[in-house]
Structure 1
Amino acid sequence: MACSVLNNVINVFGKDSSAYFAMIGFVTASYIAFKVAFNVIKILKYFVFAGSTNFKKLGSWAVVTGSTDGIGKAYAKELAERGVNIVLISRSEAKLQEVANEIEKESKVQTRIIVADFSKGLELYDSIREQLAGLEIGTLVNNVGMNYPFHNYFLDVADREEYFMKMINVNVTAVTMMTSIVMPAMVERKKGAVINISSAGGLYPVPLLTVYSACKAYEIFFSRCIQSEYESKGIICQCVMPYFVVTNMSMPLLVATKKSKIVKPSLFEPSPTTYAKAALDSFGVSDFTNGYWAHNVQGTAMGMLPEGIVKKMMMGMAEKGRKANLENMSKKKE
């Protein structure tokens, strides 16, 4: 098929290679122009409709997993600012209570806490289901996540089989089971928001973070399928794919790639608070987003690059991060 098309092109242009390359240039330029225009329209749509969703009308409660630190905590606080009662789910009871107290003091909403270690697998979901029973849950934020401590080759990860199973339980089982538990009542009421915090690392293979990248790709496809299946039933499933945000989970990777001891929030590496506000403002505007305008710019730029270049970039960054972390670990031992 490809050879036939190529032969037809050669027959049309004959030996006039300049015309052939002009056509290739025109097609390439048209494609890039289309991509840029499409993303400009998305950005304009965001600024027009940002923050238009009234989460209180979806339901009086929101459930946020992984809500004691980073993006999850920021989402919980931002939803509370918008008048929604919050169910916080995480593994540390002390941290949960601390965040709950902060939210109730700052936003004057109700909170509940559920202690759950998502790395344990299926054994905890019956208890979660029971503790959520009877609540009018309009918003579910599947945020809980687990990453590598630093870039590393698949076979070099310490206790890899146990570690990888925990990672799959946290990143894959949790989003699947929590959606299964919470969404039926949303469908019955014909309204609800499911927000799945994936990662830009799920958009393309990220070597040396292999299992994490694969898990995040699962979240992306899971989200898009749920959106297709249940959009007609009043459910909006948004997949959010951040690049670097300054959190405890991403800090080791940020520090390594920058070779710096401290990473402060910046234009392309925002604080969790900045990121969560922007991402929530995008709900109802885009169901597939990087969540924050600077990350959307990064995503657009990456999407225009050939796969081979992206692959080399990812491997180069990963190797750099691994080397920096190994050097840091070696210095600490000395």
Structure 2
Amino acid sequence: MELNFWDQVKSQPIWIQLLLLLGTLSIFKTLLSIPKWIYITFLRPAKNLKKYGSWALVTGPTDGIGKSFAFQLARKGLNLILVGRNPDKLKEVSDAIQTKFPKTEIKNLVIDFSIGGNLSEGVIKIQELVEELDVGILINNVGISYPYARFFHEVDQELLRNLIHINVEGTTKVTQAVIPGMLKRKRGAIVNIGSGAAIVIPSDPLYAVYAATKAYIDQFSRCLYVEYKKSGIDVQCQVPLYVATKMASIRRSSLFVPSTDGYARAAIRWIGYEPRCMPYWPHSILWGLAHMLPESAIDAWRLQFCLRIRKKGQVKDSSKKE
């Protein structure tokens, strides 16, 4: 008598039955993740950001993603504290925002996050300001990368110190200045801008220190998410891949490389949800594909890609010296 499928399964050793069960659960989990991704990406409503508070603080708002975030937050009806090192650029951005959104109140804080800047004094200014205002959202966007790819031993001391000081210490101290007020009010949202260089790909050769600082941002965000979730504070690390910015040396946007405005529009919808997210949906597709490839293959591709960037950068440097 021929056994049916379930009888054949029952006749197998227990360890084989367990493997079959785990495999079946894994398949179901994968199948269920597709409709979940569609809902979260395209159908889930954005949160009412004004419920966190009437003010948002944005670091690095004079260019790139930070500037686009500032415009999107103003569009949502939030008042802004813009924190940057160049007073002229801060005024230019705040004037442009108020021209488009006249009801938006804006306060500019001049803080230089670099080594030799006024970060410690700036943090005190932030603490004093947030005591007076209902700051419900913090966008930690300030950060720097390498001018171009280079081996670790080629990274000069000034760049090395600034990478750590701006990307790590700056974000950490600004967060520590803002979070007590959120705790007092029992509401708030903190968004730290990470990077696919630290999370999506297994390694980022020739950008080692930059990638390491962004890995810190990811872990820092996750820990704070767990620490403060029950206190009404939503902490999130957003993970963009390439965006058309000066820092990425990309001028033209495309489907997989959004403009800063395109990225910010997507990013605003994710505030207050998952502790780590990739707001721009084509990036999440690339993330999924990257996880399907062997790490050794991605490492080899990434090394060759970055070596080409290094070569172009060296050519530009030598032409400037001439």
- TM bucket (normalised to shorter chain) is 0.7 to 0.9
Aligned counterpart in structure 2 of residue 54 of structure 1, from 48, 53, 59: 48
**Is 1:323 equivalent to 2:311 in the alignment?**
yes
Residue in 2 aligned with 1:238? 236
Aligned counterpart in structure 2 of residue 220 of structure 1, from 199, 218, 221: 218
Residue in 2 aligned with 1:295? 283
Kindly indicate whether the alpha-carbon contact (under 8 Å) linking 1:200 and 1:243 is maintained by their aligned counterparts in 2. Answer: yes
CA distance in 1, matches of 2:150, 2:23: 37
Q: Deviations over 1:255-311 (max 9, x none)?
A: xxxxxxxx3111111110010010111223433112201111111111222222222
CA distance in 2, matches of 1:198, 1:35: 26
3-state SS of 1:67 partner: coil
Deviates more, 1:64-73 or 1:162-171: 162-171
3-state SS of 1:246 partner: coil
CA distance in 2, matches of 1:295, 1:32: 23
**Is 1:86 equivalent to 2:47 in the alignment?**
no
CA distance in 1, matches of 2:67, 2:233: 23
Gaps (5+ residues) in structure 2? 1-11
Give the aligned residue type for 1:155: H
Over 3 Å counting, the alpha-carbon distance change for 1:66 and 1:34 in structure 2 is same
CA distance in 1, matches of 2:40, 2:297: 30
**Is 1:191 equivalent to 2:187 in the alignment?**
yes
Q: Size of the alignment, in residue pairs? A: 302
How far is the alpha carbon of 1:34 from its aligned partner? 4.4
Residue in 1 aligned with 2:263? 275
CA distance in 1, matches of 2:177, 2:321: 46
Over 3 Å counting, the alpha-carbon distance change for 1:102 and 1:123 in structure 2 is same
Residue in 2 aligned with 1:266? 254
Over 3 Å counting, the alpha-carbon distance change for 1:183 and 1:197 in structure 2 is same
Give the aligned residue type for 1:300: G
How far is the alpha carbon of 1:314 from its aligned partner? 1.9
Kindly indicate whether the alpha-carbon contact (under 8 Å) linking 1:265 and 1:271 is maintained by their aligned counterparts in 2. Answer: yes
CA distance in 2, matches of 1:46, 1:299: 14
CA distance in 2, matches of 1:327, 1:28: 52
How far is the alpha carbon of 1:123 from its aligned partner? 4.7
Residue in 1 aligned with 2:3? none
Residue in 1 aligned with 2:69? 75
CA distance in 1, matches of 2:135, 2:42: 28
Aligned counterpart in structure 2 of residue 63 of structure 1, from 51, 57, 65: 57
Residue in 1 aligned with 2:40? 45
CA distance in 1, matches of 2:198, 2:64: 19
How far is the alpha carbon of 1:86 from its aligned partner? 0.6
- TM-score between both structures, scaled by the size of structure 1: 0.83
CA distance in 2, matches of 1:102, 1:308: 47
CA distance in 1, matches of 2:223, 2:259: 30
Q: Deviations over 1:70-100 (max 9, x none)?
A: 0000000000000000100000000000111
- TM-score between both structures, scaled by the size of structure 2: 0.86
Residue in 2 aligned with 1:208? 206
How far is the alpha carbon of 1:48 from its aligned partner? 1.9
3-state SS of 2:132 partner: coil
CA distance in 1, matches of 2:321, 2:215: 36
Give the aligned residue type for 1:180: Q
Gaps (5+ residues) in structure 1? 1-11, 14-19, 255-262
Q: Deviations over 1:97-155 (max 9, x none)?
A: 01111111111210000000111354532233223331100000000010000000111
Q: Quick one: percent identity of the two aligned structures?
A: 37
CA distance in 2, matches of 1:39, 1:88: 38
CA distance in 2, matches of 1:325, 1:32: 46
How large is the Cα RMSD of the aligned pairs? 2.6
Give the aligned residue type for 1:70: G
Where do 1:106-117 residues align within 5 Å?
A: 106-108=100-102, 109-117=104-112
Give the aligned residue type for 2:41: Y
Kindly indicate whether the alpha-carbon contact (under 8 Å) linking 2:243 and 2:260 is maintained by their aligned counterparts in 1. Answer: yes
Kindly indicate whether the alpha-carbon contact (under 8 Å) linking 2:126 and 2:178 is maintained by their aligned counterparts in 1. Answer: no
CA distance in 2, matches of 1:34, 1:325: 45
Kindly indicate whether the alpha-carbon contact (under 8 Å) linking 1:205 and 1:214 is maintained by their aligned counterparts in 2. Answer: no
